[in-house]
Chains A and B, each alone.
Chain A
Amino acid sequence: MSELVIQIEKLSKVYRLGTIGTGYLLQDLQRWWTTAVRKQQDPFFQLPDAQFPNATQSQALWALQNVDFEVKQGEVWGIIGSNGAGKSTLLKIVSRIIRPSAGFVRGRGKVSSLLEVGTGFHSELSGRENIYLSGYILGMSKAEIRAKFDEIVAFSGVEKFLDTPVKRYSSGMYVRLAFAVAAHLEPDILIIDEVLAVGDAEFQKKCLGKMREVATNDGRTILFVSHSMQAINNLCDKGLWLQHGKVRATGPVNDVVNRYLIDNQQLKTKQSWTDPNEAPGNDKIRFKLVELIPQLLQPDAPLDIRTPLTIRFQFWNFTDDILISTHLTLFSYNGDCVFDVASTATICQKGVVSGECTIPGNFLNDGSYYINLYVLKDTTINLYDYEQCLSFDLEDYRTNIQWYGKWWGVVRPTFPFFLTQTHMALP
């Protein structure tokens, strides 16, 4: 288990913005003349690097910058990061598709990459022809494909249409067949880029099941990119977080995923004012404090669907003998109101009024939410509406469910729900 199979050292990839190559034959010839023949610096571009201090930073886009990490035999690495963080570039370099601008990748054993489902498929050819062709493209030998042919066909479930051109397949069948070929590769190191984005829920389940099987039973080394933190958490044991082409964190997958999620959560959890003149409100009401207090299970965990959330607020009331009530509404980020709860109504005097409301855990679905607070007089007249005063994200959390698609529904309550067997025999 401890044997190193991939070593990545100071790996960098730089893309020049705009065209690569000057795009003009004349300029390219001129460049070739100066760099290759006269051994001088490129007259049209210089690497923005310490070696070339006079370089212009604005011309270059660093897809990867000094990435170092090591993979041991049998490890399953989840690579996470926002769009454009360099995840795909890293996979492409390890797959030998593109070359790095600097640094090295060293490795041991056969590498297969699955960066796209259906690479090498041709729509005019039959399913049978395509199995062979895409198998060859992915690096399988004729004997290997022949030996696995029945298994591939069974996995894809397209037996009846094996001799039909794949252009007449439904898109689901097409994807299933394509994945089936890839799933039967037997490399030492497998590289997978976001394959879960395709196919229906049932198919995703099948793919992930296959991946888990490959990872646990065969002890294969896997590098896996996904935007589904659930899938990463469940399938991987190590995490690599890339940000703007640099390694932000590596380590046990849970730690890395949590750090990533916390970093990405768009929290507006506390706002407070000491001077009423600067606080939001009007001549009747001014807010002093709004605060979201999550009751986290662990101090460094992100907010997830299990977390109970307490909303606490205070406002200055500038009127005596006034009947005040408040409403708290929770909106999902696409603007649907999830609920509207009303507080009790109380006669208040001039001074500070406080309120508190708790949203229980295991109630909301995962997603982004914001909160509006409304202060009312005599339970009907709006004194002040404080919209979007708090916002937060809830992460997904699942146990024992091998499915990573988006969970349906605005809320996700855990009502008592039981299944019992009542009869042992069929009629």
Chain B
Amino acid sequence: MGQYHTQHMSIRTDNKWDWEIGSKTSWWGTSLPDLWAYRHLASGLVRRDFLLVYQQTILGPLWVLLQPLLTLITYVVVFGKVVGISTGGTPPVLFYLAGIILWNLFNDTFTSISSTFRDNAQVFSKVYFPRLIIPVARLTGYLFNFGIQFGLLILVLAYYFIFQGLPVPDVKWLLLAPVAILLVGTISFALGLFFSVLTAKYRDMNYLIGLGTRLLMFLTPVIYPVGYVSEKWRWLVQLNPLTPLFELFRRALLGQGVVTFPLFAYSFIVTAVLLLAALLIFNKQGDKLIDTI
């Protein structure tokens, strides 16, 4: 077990002791040095999850690419050809691929973090380490997956730039793509933390999460551009803090997307508030949950 760091010194400030365990649960929880001491555990968990997912599969890590590719084909056929949803001026393949990989980052991270307590009940009740390590490791793992898929997107983009004469976007805009990715990752992390507490307490939350993410996808510009939503309903889509980020991501890479500074600022503030609130709740409730799970 790692170094204990002094907590709850409010009752008696006594420098004789390195650590103190009291009945008060803390809002701030684990200190950063404590988390840092367990960095190897986080990387070990990322490695484990990666090994586990692809063990005993024929194609192995290729699935990281195959999954978005197969989804892409489905979307191009169903939404592009059959239903005929417009993708604006962008080639459908690029439009859908960008949407799919960013949505996957959100969906996978959120879903997996939201089951932190249920999945790790056994380990949590037998050994102490900062509980936050598990969600951090999961986020890192999915960011890594996203990186691979992003590489695929870049290759497809390069093809369109070179052979199809798609205009190369401005460097200024390109630099905003990582910002969008980071914020989407943060929202999924924060929501995941929040729901991990809820799913540990109330089992029915699991069903809600599956349903909720599917509904949320339709309120996020994954398969349609915001510019093509009727004025009357656009506010509903733009209420979703993910919307400006998806639009920003496409605007940065593909040169098409509706994003204004106020919309982006709205997303940013919502993300920051969510993250702070989720961290507080996760830390405060985490200790109590060990008694329940």
Chain A residues within 8 Å of B, Cβ to Cβ: 4, 7, 15, 20-21, 23, 25, 28, 92-113, 115-116, 119-120, 122, 124-125, 129, 132-133, 136-139, 141-142, 187
Contacts and interface: CB of A to CB of B under 8 A. Distances in A.
A99 B21 CA distance: 7
A110 B2 contact: yes
Given A136-B40, A136-B44, 20 more contacts: A7-B17, A21-B201, A23-B202, A97-B127, A98-B125, A98-B290, A99-B21, A103-B22, A104-B11, A104-B21, A107-B20, A108-B18, A111-B1, A113-B127, A113-B128, A120-B123, A125-B48, A132-B44, A137-B127, A187-B1
Contact of B17 (A101, A108, A132): A108
Indicate the size class of the contact surface on chain B: 35 or more
Contacts of B129: 137, 139
A99 B287 contact: yes
A109 B202 contact: no
14 contacts: A4-B16, A93-B21, A95-B1, A95-B128, A96-B1, A97-B125, A99-B288, A105-B20, A106-B16, A106-B21, A113-B128, A119-B127, A132-B44, A136-B44
B232 interface: no
A20 B291 contact: yes
A132 B44 CA distance: 8
A99 B23 contact: yes
A20 B292 contact: yes
Given A96-B128, A99-B21, A139-B129, A110 B44 contact: no
Contact of B18 (A104, A109, A116): A109
B25 interface: yes
A106 B19 contact: yes
Most buried by A among B11, B21, B37, B47: B21
B213 interface: no
Contact of B4 (A92, A111, A115, A142): A111
Given A25-B202, A108-B17, A136 B23 contact: no
Which 6 pairs, one residue from A and one from B, show the smallest C-beta to C-beta distance? Answer: A136-B41, A139-B1, A106-B17, A96-B128, A105-B21, A139-B2
A129 B48 contact: yes
Interface of B: 1-4, 11, 14, 16-23, 25, 37-38, 40-41, 44-45, 47-48, 51-52, 55, 122-129, 201-202, 287-288, 290-292
A119 B126 contact: yes
Nearest to A191: B1
A136 B130 CA distance: 12
Contacts of A116: 126-127
B123 A137 contact: yes
A136 B21 contact: no
Nearest to A185: B1
Contact of B38 (A113, A136, A187): A136
A266 B43 CA distance: 54
Most buried by B among A94, A98, A100, A108: A98
A98 B287 contact: yes
Contacts of A141: 37, 40
Contact of B23 (A103, A115, A119): A103
B21 A100 contact: yes
A107 B126 contact: no
A119 B120 CA distance: 11
A94 B17 CA distance: 14
Contacts of A99: 21-23, 25, 287-288
A189 B44 CA distance: 25
Nearest to B201: A21
A97 B31 CA distance: 16
Nearest to B125: A97
Nearest to B6: A106
B140 to A, nearest CB: 14
Nearest to A114: B127
A272 B45 CA distance: 68
Nearest to B49: A122
B53 to A, nearest CB: 10
Contact of A15 (B16, B21, B291): B291
A26 to B, nearest CB: 11
A129 B17 contact: no
Given A120-B123, A136-B38, A141-B40, A110 B3 contact: yes
B21 to A, nearest CB: 4
B126 A115 contact: yes
Contacts of A142: 40
B57 to A, nearest CB: 12
B239 to A, nearest CB: 24
Contact of B52 (A7, A108, A125): A125
A262 B38 CA distance: 46
Nearest to A120: B123
Nearest to A107: B19
Contacts of B37: 139, 141
Contacts of B287: 98-99
